[in-house]
Structures are given as C-alpha cells and as structure tokens.
Chain A
C-alpha cells in the first residue's frame, strides 16, 4: 500500500468528519490529532457534549449498530479511487476481450412476414399463402417494399427488426425458428408453418453472433471492472490491517 494512498484516506476522514477517535484507536491511524476545532454554533453544543461524554463512558463498546456503521465506513474508504485507480481505455478493452463470453450477443436476424391464419382458413392457409406469393412474383413486386395488403392480422406484429433464434422460437415455435434460419435474405419466400399458421417471410438482414464494441458496452464493462477492483482493494486493505492483529480463539466451556 502506497503512503500517498493512506494520506488520501486520512484526508478523506478529516473531510467526512467521521468518528475519528474510534477509528484511530482501533485501526492504528495514530498519526496526529489535527482535528480542526471548528467553532460550533451553540445549538450543536448539546449533541457534541453528550456525544463526547458517551464516548468517554465507553457506550460505543459492544454496540452492534455503531460497530456495523464503522465497518461500513472503512469498507467505503477502501473503495477510494486512490486505491482502485480509474481504468484506462486499454484496461477496459482488455477486460472486454478477456471476458468475451459475458458480453457476446447472439446472432440476430431481421425479417418481415405475412400471415395466413390456420384458425381462419383451416387447411387452405398454406395454399392461400402460396397463391399470394405467386401473385407477388407475377407482379414483380420489389422485395424491399411492404407487400400489397394480404394475409391476416397477426398479433405479434409484421416486422421483426432484430430477433435471436431463441426469441423467434419463443414467439413462433421451434420448427419455424429452424426453417427461417436457412433462408437467404432478399426475396419473399415460404410458406413456412408456425404454431399459428402459414407465413411468407422476407429476411432483410442477418447479424452473426458478435462481441460488441467497447463503445456499445462501456458502462457495463466499467462497472464490472470497478466492482472487481473494489473487491481486490478491499481484500488488500483488509489483509494489511489483519496483519496487525493476532486472533486468539477461546474455547467455550460447554
């Protein structure tokens, strides 16, 4: 642990005016009693006097709340940026590469569909879809345009801008997800059958599974790196403090 870092902690202690005497007693921050005696307004003197008397009487000892609060405070101090440092661009980029499995996105596809309801058309759903596809072809309908009105209303929507295979399976069923996966992008194709009926499908784009760029996931990576550093810094600080103590385990008399 660098001396500079400990100075920074001491400075922060003074800034936050935490219960300095206690911390000093317990944790060997013996250096200096340079607590600035600020002139207090009269209405604060009552609290201060009672507080000091309580300390002098040892009321803080064995008090679970005070104990917990102090432990929280010192753990908070361990998270000081002077101890953890602020990760550089390089640090973030290398963390992203080293933990790619955590950030990788599944492959996704974009598609539109025209639906022919089995509930409305029964066994004609597939034939009706075929006939509509033939009509599109005969009209030389440009694939990038929405097709002329046809098919039935579909509650899940017409355009699916970015769906993973799992998301497609969750909505349309497994066999539809498998079938659409093999389609080449560009033209209206099908019909493909789903749990609901027959669909004409036009795949408009496909994106392989990929590791997002740092820009896209910067906030998440930053939070993850800081989390790890805080944990590590706290462990280092604890180890250092722990080395000043000897633990004696007393056997209980049963």
Chain B
C-alpha cells in the first residue's frame, strides 16, 4: 500500500486492465436503453424511406453516426447502455421477397410500390395499411400475391421470415459487448385490430437460446393469449423471454380490457400465464402517453401530457381514447382482479422506449428531428385509414433499469423483477424503496440505498400485511445533467375497496425550498418558465435532485394499493416548437408549445393480510 502511495504522488499511474468488464455493483447502477426499435427490416419503416438496417441501428445505439433519410447525419449525444432491434414479425418475409430481384414476385406492382416508397411514400403507406388491415382480419391474412397463392398462404413468406429471424439473432450477437453495450434478441409481435388498433408486444429474450421460428401475430391470429402459450411451450430450458405490451392508447378498448381478446371471460390459467409472461408495460413512446388520459378515470392534470387522442364520443370505437386502455386504470383494475382470481394480470412495472422507425434508438432529444420525419405543417393525415396528425407524436422515451452490471443476464433479471423506470426521453434517474421500519429522514442519509434494500423492497416489489401503520416510501430523483432542473416528485397512489377503485396524486418533494400544501398535497408553483422565442428557460429555478421519506396519510391496511413515483422537470420547449423556430414558421396551435419531461418509477404494491 505504501508503494502505491508513492506512485500516486509521482503521478505515473497506469490503470490496470481497464477494458475488463466492470465489477458487479450490489447497490445497482442505472442503465438507459431502448427495447423498441424498427429498422429497414420492418415493412412500415422501409416504406417510410428508412434504408438503415439492424446493424446501422446497433451502431447508432452504441454512439456511432448514421445517415437518416433526407441525407441527415445523426449521432447520439450519449450512447445507450442497452437495446434490442424489434422489427415487425408479420412482414419480415414479405419485405425480403419484395426486395430480392431473384424472386419472381419482385417485379409485381405491389413490390414495386413498396420499393419506390422513397419516391412516393403515400402510395407505399396505402399498400402497407392494406397489409395491416388484411392481417387484422379473422382469420388473419397475408398478401396472397406476395406470399404465393392462397393454399400455401404463408408458405413463401414464412420460409423467408425464418432466415431473416436467424440473421437478426446473429446481428444482435455481433454487437453485444458485455460490460459496455448490451443487445437483446427480440422482435415485435404485431397483433392488429380492425382499423389499425394495436395489441402489439415486444418479445425480448434473455440469451441466445430462442425459438427457431417466430410464431407471428398472423400465425397466432392476433391473439395475445396464444402468444403467451406459444412462448411457454417453445421457449423452455435455457430460453427465457418477456413480452412487453406497448402504446395501449391504440388499443381501441381491447388492450387492457377485463376479458380475453376474443371477448371470452378471463380464466385463472390464462391470467397466471399473462402475469408470468408480461411483468412490464411500455408506458410512453413516440405514439404517445399511455399512463392516463384526461377525464378517463382521473382528475390528474398531468395526464394531458403527450396525448394523441381525445376521449371517445358516442359511437366512436377507434382513433379515440378508452379508459381501460390506460396503464393507471389497468393497475387499479388489476387490484380487483387480484381479489377475484388470486392473480393480478396487470401488475406492471414501467419502461418507455422510442418505437423509432428510423433505426435511431434513443434519439429522444426534443431538439432532434421530429418523430417519423414528418414535416409539422403537413396538416393532412397521410391516409384516410390512419387519420392522425403525426405532429401529435413525439420523439419517444427511454427505458431505465437498476442492474448490477451491463450484461444481458443482469439487465434481463432487472426487467423480470420490475426494477425499472420510464422516462419521456431525458435521463432523469429515480430510485424508490418501500419498507415498514425505515427511519424517518432516510432519504437524507448517506446509506439510503443500502438501507433501502436491506429494510424493504425496491421499485417493482411487493409489501404484504399485517401492519397497522403505513409503510414508508423513500424516493430520490436526480436530474439529467443535460436537461432542465427538477420541479417536483409526486407519488401516484391507486387502491381498491371491494370492486371499487380509487386514485390520488400526492406531491411529496418540491423544488426551490417549497413544501407541499398539507391539505391539497400540491407544491406551490415554482415560477419556472420558457421563452417561446428562443426556448431558453428561467435560470436558477428547480432542483438538481429531490428526495423524500413519505408515508401515506390515508393508508388503510385493509385496501390493496400501489404507489409509483412520477418526477417532473421544469417546462421546456416541445419538439414542434423547436422545429417551428428553426423553420421560422408560426408555432403550431394544435399542440402545446412546452412540455414537462418526466420519469415514472415502477410501482410498489401493498397486499393486505389474507389476500
């Protein structure tokens, strides 16, 4: 030790073996990733003009520059720690056939329209929507012409999809650098509903042992129940998988409904399988926020954040918001189902992703190019079958995990135990612990993480009765050093009494020395603002970090409940405002000019004794 001391002072220190995988940190590190990424191997991405393949997406994720459509060079300011390319399963074969000059179908009109999508995106989009509508039929259909005849319906397409799936596995393997950059083998199971409703799930595998073929949503007739069954039958032994539902705001009331996707009643067996296969949900992504929606089971004003749809009016069933499609409502329903069936199928931890279709995972900065690269003044929807102004989309979010080290095993296990958080795109870090015997003011102590694990459970965990007093929650959030300061931490509580459910939002930590009002549980306004002429923000407002040790003043030991943390930044410009300023055009009036970036921790659940 003495010799080492002398060396230090002499200033000739060479670090030993730095390229080794960093040691496991038992207190766990925050890693940021994106588990929802489309490349030129997804038919819809291809027809949006994207020609960057999965290798380009992995290169981009680990920090290298790529060239986006329109000849735009792009590079992440901060590389991702982990990612998965999740191309759409249902058209892997179709696209490969249509772009292979050696195939007879190459010369067909439909393939030509797809290939010429960079010149005529509207025609190509119409073609893809046609594929989407066919896939949503019952029974699901493929394009008979591209796949070769009706009898062999999926024959050529499936054969070809198999070799693309093998290639995708190999590419994920090529880019995996344990300790530095974790890649997962995965795909998007693309179950469609009529009118482009989505029951989509990303399937993520822990290692390299995966099914030899993908049973796509067409093969499984768009039934998630069959996906869970298929995974349990096919992915065994060394194979481990998760399915992560996403943008349930496009679920047309089916995604998180209290019955099976075919309308039949739940059974305990199906719910158990669902709970085993789906520990997580993607709460936020470029196609909008699925946490909650204004007026649908909530009075929380923060639910208006990045909404794509308004509540369904009389008779509307698609392209509008239904209460059951939103995650917070599902979490509440799950408490009741837990009582009814003895298993809670909606015990979801949270992540967010981009769902990029431009092979640029993690490119979530509002200053970046708009989602989908659609010009913001293009008011007309691209197609009558998809009546959405894409200005309502956003650059997407990030998945956060607390894991011992940056490896497949460690990160997958975090996903499995729900020690995850979601962000709307910035790198806010948030920790949440729940326990019965934490000391008061634990959040201010240096050992709060050790004590948090030792005396309780981290985010994603469960607490059980009997205990008369409320559990203590310790929450701690730190800003993204490249984004705005934090404004507040909120705890969102949901609970049930018999078949009835309730929710309430508590502000628990405020910036600028402010305190939550003891009656309304709200922080006073911190006065932070944004200049809409140059997007500059009020200086010296907000906090670099916030924390609280909190217990629920309305705790009832007889009620099932969940608690999750939501961390809000001070307001900043929305991407559409940046884009309008750069183009020197009027600010769009249909969308808010500013947003509050945020992070959501996975919930901690409380279950009373005897439940």
Contact = CB atoms under 8 A, between A and B. Distances in A.
B449 A153 contact: yes
Nearest to A216: B19
Contacts of B19: 105, 212, 216
B130 to A, nearest CB: 22
Contacts of B156: 64-65
B159 A144 contact: no
A247 interface: no
Contact of A162 (B22, B429, B449): B22
B22 A143 contact: no
B482 interface: yes
Given A72-B163, A118-B544, A185-B11, A153 B446 contact: yes
B25 A171 contact: no
Interface stretch (B1-9, B243-251, B342-350, B413-421): B1-9
B153 to A, nearest CB: 14
Nearest to B544: A196
B448 interface: yes
Contacts of A155: 30, 429, 431, 476, 478, 545
B482 A144 contact: no
Contacts of B25: 157
Contacts of A207: 14-15, 18
B429 A119 contact: no
Nearest to B96: A68
B103 interface: yes
Nearest to B103: A64
Interface string B1-41: 10011001101011100110011010001100000000000
Contact of B8 (A149, A173, A186): A186
B546 interface: yes
A186 B10 CA distance: 8
A151 B427 CA distance: 24
B159 A65 contact: yes
A185 B545 contact: no
A118 B541 CA distance: 12
B174 interface: yes
Contacts of A153: 445-449, 476
A27 interface: no
A184 interface: yes
B77 interface: yes
A119 B148 contact: no
A162 B481 contact: no
Interface in B93-130: 97, 100, 102-105
Interface of A: 62, 64-65, 67-68, 71-72, 105, 108-110, 117-120, 142-144, 149, 151-153, 155-157, 161-162, 166, 170-173, 184-187, 194-197, 204-207, 212, 216, 223
Given A67-B102, A156-B429, 6 more contacts: A68-B102, A68-B160, A119-B511, A162-B22, A170-B77, A186-B9
30 contacts: A62-B104, A64-B102, A65-B155, A68-B103, A71-B102, A72-B163, A108-B18, A117-B545, A119-B544, A143-B8, A144-B4, A153-B476, A156-B429, A156-B478, A157-B29, A161-B18, A161-B22, A162-B15, A162-B22, A170-B427, A170-B481, A184-B11, A185-B8, A186-B11, A187-B9, A194-B481, A196-B479, A196-B545, A206-B14, A212-B19
